[in-house]
Every structure is written in C-alpha cells, then in structure tokens.
Structure 1
C-alpha cells in the first residue's frame, strides 16, 4: 500500500519540480534586460542632389527642387517609426516621454524632415498629448548643429589634412589605378553623354544618383542608359563609397572618420552600464546620410560594400545579462519588407560582451583626432632639429664660459689685487 502511494506521488513531484524549474527559467529570461538603444538611419527617398548638362529633366521637375525629401521618403520613415514602435514595445513608453529619447540630425532639410516623419510613426499622440483632434501628430524636439560645426554625423569630416593625404595615397593604390584603367573608355563615354567636362571614379556617383532618382519616380531615361550601362554605373558608384573610408588604410581612415561616431555611441553605452537611475535615457536616434552609415559600418568592419538604401537603419542595443554583465547586439534594417537582420562584430559572438566589444574596436578609436589629422612636415622637422642644435651649442658655450670665470675667481690671491707702478706717483 505504501509503495503504491509513493509510486503515485512521483508524477506529482515531477510536475512540481518542472513547475519550479520553469519559473526559474522564466526569471532568468526576464532578467536579461534591454538597457539602451542607438539608432542611426539614412534619410528617406529624395530628389537628385544635382543634374547634369544634357539631362532632360530639370530641377523644376521636382516640386521642392534638388536634394529634398519626397512624399515617398516621408512614408518610408513613418513606416520605420511604426516598426520601431513595435520593436521597442514595453521598453519605451507608449506615449512620448522626453526623458527617454534624444534625437539628433544633420542640418539638412531631408534628414530633419525624415526624423520628423519617423517620430510621427514612433509616437502617435495619446489623448493627453493631442492638441488638435484633426491632427494625429505631436511636435517632438530634434537637435542639430550647423554643418560647419558637425563633428559627429556629417561624413567625411573635414578639414583633416592626414585624411586628405590618405585619399591621395588611395588614388595611387593598385586597386584604384586598375579600376581607372578598366573603366577609362566608359568614363569618357559618360562624360560625353552627360555633357560633363570630366567624370572620374569619385564623381560618377552623381550621374548614377540623378538617373536612379528619376528611375525611381518613373521618369524617362536617356537612350544611352541601357540596363548594362545602369548596372555599371551602380558598380562604380559603390566603388566611390568604398573609396571614402576603405580600399587603403581603412583602420586609420576610421580613426579620423567613423570612429568618432562609434566612440560616442560606446561612451553612451558605458555610461548607461554604470547608471543606477530608474528614469534614464533609453534611445538615442541619429538622422543622417548614407555616408554616415557607411563610415560607422566601416569602422565596425561590417560594411557590405553597397550603398545604404533609403530609410535603412543601423541598430545597436545594450543588454544587461542575467549575470549582471553587459552585452552589445547589432542589427541592420535595409528592407522594409523584412525584419532587421543581425550584424556580428568580427571576432565576437552576435551578443558581444561590452568589454570585448570595446577591446575589439579600440584600434579605430582616436584619443586625439586633432593631432592625428596633422601631417608632420619634413621642412618643419629639419628646422626644429637645427634650432635645437643651435640652442644646445649656445648652452654649452655658456657653461664653458661660466666654468672659466669660476676658475679664474678661485685662482686670485687672498688679499686681493693691487696695482704697483714702476714709475712712482702718476700725474695727469
């Protein structure tokens, strides 16, 4: 009888044990907590930056002129804002809370308007935040600085003599020289077709950009732009983006460019990891350009070599693990029809411990960019060396003279010096 009771109680014991184990597992899962998010995105669809002389579509074909966000671009960012609202549901408040999010943009119409559109999707106003029942929108601050003062988001960051020297050295690299030779006749053809005086590997992006924008908006293409020509223009445009931050000495270029933004992001993460405040900044949002995304991804060594699409978003998330340690995860949303896909920092797992993330990116973080931007002049170096040598010579001469004077003073008689005239008293 006793054995029967014991046997019957075993399944109950197992159920109880599994129940408590599941509770423990749930507690551990819950303990892993998102602490901070940094979002960097490119602006939405825009009109061309500029045209070319033979372009049949002038600036007047675009309602707001060149370089401006279109209604398509506004919708792209509203969609991204909605996607971010869903992704961070439960992390961010349902309604806008100024203590939780900070938004910064470059001082450009299209990036400022993209940020506004994005925030409209992220924070539709609740009842207490509605100021007009006919408008499902609320104003949210977006911070910026003049382009001439932007040392965080407007890449490439200039002036920087050493970076410009690196670019000149890149032009002498085998890859750049060979690419030029392979495409010389094509570049000449494009120059003739567009009416431009000269088209190079670095300037051809503007031709592709104009045609791409027109194609996206169903405008007619010139007869010379076949599918093969368009594809080749795209390939060369991608090369021009790699030229900015890669091809040659990418680590040093990153120290002078994208490493500055990465350094700021990691400083923010480090501070967040130390913080014990309950009410804290949770999201930092940067609205910028394709070059900004490329600069950051090159510094992280995760750039895929192609131009960043409109409204693409690079996501960096800081987590507090069950152990109390912190880790960093990265994602990239480059297709509105798909979820963001993970990016892995080379040498680290997808969920990378914060100290390891800091260690692996240390090479692209400059401690003194202003100094590293300078180019040591051989002429100046020679002048300094000669100057030091002359100073050293005069110092040595002074020491010798001082020693001579001291020696002569020590060698005088104790009674002092007396002049005795052989001729007796002197007369005027």
Structure 2
C-alpha cells in the first residue's frame, strides 16, 4: 500500500495549483558619486597649489559599468567592482591576487550626453537659467550675500565670485580641510558654513528654483529616461535576460540632476561615494514594482525614497506614469529656443513691409517732383476747343 499511496500523493501534488511565487529582486540600477579626491583647482591666492597634491588636481586619493571619462569616476568604478566581485573558482587566475578584470565602459568627455550635467549645448536651458537669474529668489539671495561674496573675492584673488561660482571656493577648501591642511585665517567655521549653504543653493539654481519640470526634461530626465528603459526591458518577459545590475559611476551634479527630476532631492550635496539605488521587483502577483533608496552615510542602511504620488513600494506602471512628464521626447528639439523661429518670421515680415513702404515713399516723391517741375501756367487742355454736343 505504501507505493500506491506515494504515487497517489505525487499525482495529487502535480495536479494541485502552483504555489504563489515569492517576491523576487529582478534588476538593480546604481548611480553613485566617485570617492574622495583632491581639489579640482586652486584659487589664485591658495597656499596649496597643484604641487601639494602628489596625484594632481581632481584625482582620487586612497580609494576606499558606465562611467564618465574622468580618472576619479573610472577608478571609483574599478574599486567598487573589485569589492563587489572578487574572483571565485575558475575566475581566480592568480592565487595571490584577489581581483578579476571587469570592463568599465565610457565615452570621451566631449561626447558625454548621459552622466555629465548640466548637459550642453542646450539654448533653451540657458534661456531658463537667464530667467532664473531674474527671479526674486535669486536676486534676494545675491543681495543678502553681496558683502560676503566680495570678501571671498578679495581673500581668494578671484575677480568675480557669484552664487554660481562660489562652489569652486568651497570645494577647494573642503578638500584641503578633509586632508588636514591648515586653512587660511579668514576661513572660519562660520565662513565654511556659509560657503556650504551657497554651494547648495548653486545646485538648486542649476536644476530648480524656476521652471523645475522643464529643466528636468532638459537635464536629469535624460538619464531617467535611460534608467526607465533599462527597467522596462528587464521586466519584459520576452526580452533576453542578461544584465542583473547596471552601475553608473559619476558626479554629485549627476545625482542632484536625477533627484531633482524625481523631486526627491534633500537640498544638500551628495557626499563622496553616495549612491542612488533603483530596485526592480517581480511581486507575488507577477506584476513589477520599483523601490528607491539613497545611501549617503557610512555605517547606516540606505534611506528609502518615495516618488511623489506613489508609495515607497511603487508599481512599475505607476512609476512610469508619474515620471512621464519629465522625460524628453526629442531632447534636441526641446533644447531649441521656440521664439527663434517666430522672431525670424517677424523680422522678415517687418523687412518686407519696410521695403514696400520705402518704395511707396519713393513713388510718391517722384510724382510730387514731376508735378512741381511743370512750367508755370501749363494746363492739361486735351479737350479744349472740342464742341459740346
């Protein structure tokens, strides 16, 4: 009886409806800022010029795959990959080397159109920035900090220090402070705090304050469009599944542009090695959902991020619908200044009208001149002397 009973139970289990599939992680996208680096540049009166930094300006120090074409982002990508994927089994080519080669893809800086922000050339974006400079918030911020900016200009030797350029000063001083270099006497803790606040305002200026949604379409929305495309492809059952994780090694401005587009930016510069995480899950009902996290503090779990209008556990279709307004349909066309065509047509119309008016004036002057040039007493007498009926 035992064998038939086992067979019967086996058939019963085979015919039973399948158990609900557990929720599973299907695809991950990482966007992170590079690690600790030297300053990008020094200010004219900086006591620490490039010779102070053995590795030169803008390079990584101790290093704690798409990358921009900068040494610091390429090296960060390589370091992260070395930590994530130590060789195992047949991947070990040298027992004394716990590393395996993994390609990092990049494009020349001049052709970067995905990870380096602000994206340019984009005349419409520049027009929006000019409009932002005329906004009450920007004008008031400039007025409130005018004396401070002039002091920074005098102390650093930089001719013009503005809300848009002051981040360079803060960045240099921050790097020097991080590496235990003695800062000049004028750089007090209050000065550093104020510089940091103005630097954060500079990020807001780049991607917000005025017409944030349109700026998003021209900037962070470009990267988000690619991220959405990758997630949609990963959720497509008919598409071949190869990639499980896609990582972008980039900059603080890359993170700010993306987070401003998603409207989840916390108003502060992303620290070194901070990471924005997109996780695509297949839920137990076979539908897909997206969760976002931001890791910006060592020793702590990533902070969950919630797309406005959705839950932190956001259905993929809702995620796509809510982000549709910030995705450019034709970036090159949207970057054009719409008024250019209208202005050209207006100029042509005015030129044509002006030419016609000029010709009419010439004609009128010619008639007047001919009338005035006739001899005195001259009359038109073509009908004189004719008999009347």
Runs of 4+ in 1 over 4 A off after TM superposition: 276-279, 383-389
Give, in whole Å, the separation in 2 of the partners of 1:386 and 1:189.
Answer: 50
1:128 aligns with 2:90: yes
Task: Map 1:411-426 onto structure 2 (within 5 A).
Answer: none
Q: Which residue of structure 2 aligns with residue 53 of structure 1? A: 44
Shift of 1:275: 2.7
Give, in whole Å, the separation in 1 of the partners of 2:235 and 2:349.
Answer: 48
Q: 1:174 aligns with which of 136, 153, 157?
A: 136
Task: Map 1:96-175 onto structure 2 (within 5 A).
Answer: 103-175=65-137
1:349 aligns with 2:306: no
Q: Secondary structure at the match of 2:173?
A: helix
Let me know the Cα RMSD of the aligned residues: 2.0
Higher mean alpha-carbon deviation, 380-389 vs 361-370, is at 380-389
Give, in whole Å, the separation in 1 of the partners of 2:273 and 2:94.
Answer: 29
Q: Which residue of structure 2 aligns with residue 201 of structure 1? A: 163
Q: Structure 1 residues 226, 159: closer, same or farther in 2, change over 3 A? A: same
Deviations 1:222-265 (A, max 9, x none): 10011111100000000001111011111000000000110111
Structure 2 residue runs without a partner (length 5+): 1-16, 354-389
1:213 aligns with 2:195: no
Q: Secondary structure at the match of 1:31?
A: coil
Shift of 1:280: 2.1
Q: Is the 8 A contact 2:278 2:292 kept in 1?
A: yes
Q: 2:207 aligns with which of 215, 225, 245?
A: 245
Give, in whole Å, the separation in 2 of the partners of 1:126 and 1:384.
Answer: 71
Q: Secondary structure at the match of 2:254?
A: helix
Give, in whole Å, the separation in 2 of the partners of 1:352 and 1:38.
Answer: 16
Give, in whole Å, the separation in 1 of the partners of 2:266 and 2:187.
Answer: 26
Higher mean alpha-carbon deviation, 46-55 vs 376-385, is at 376-385
Q: 2:242 aligns with which of 270, 280, 287?
A: 280
Q: Which residue of structure 2 aligns with residue 236 of structure 1? A: 198
Q: Structure 1 residues 31, 384: closer, same or farther in 2, change over 3 A? A: farther
Q: Which residue of structure 2 aligns with residue 331 of structure 1? A: 293
1:315 aligns with 2:277: yes
Shift of 1:289: 0.3
1:293 aligns with 2:284: no
Q: Secondary structure at the match of 1:291?
A: helix
Task: Map 1:388-399 onto structure 2 (within 5 A).
Answer: none
1:359 aligns with 2:321: yes
Q: 2:27 aligns with which of 24, 28, 36?
A: 36
1:225 aligns with 2:187: yes
Give, in whole Å, the separation in 2 of the partners of 1:205 and 1:231.
Answer: 12
Structure 1 residue runs without a partner (length 5+): 1-23, 76-102, 390-428
Deviations 1:124-181 (A, max 9, x none): 1113112222211111000011111111111110000000000011000000000000
Deviations 1:354-390 (A, max 9, x none): 111111111101111111100132431325768999x
Q: Structure 1 residues 133, 171: closer, same or farther in 2, change over 3 A? A: same
Between the two proteins, the alignment pairs up a number of residues equal to: 336
Q: Which residue of structure 1 aligns with residue 6 of structure 2? A: none
Deviations 1:26-74 (A, max 9, x none): x65x621111111000000000010011111111111111000110xx1
Give, in whole Å, the separation in 2 of the partners of 1:385 and 1:323.
Answer: 62
Q: Structure 1 residues 387, 200: closer, same or farther in 2, change over 3 A? A: closer
Shift of 1:276: 4.2
What is the TM-score when the length of structure 2 is the normalising length? Answer: 0.83
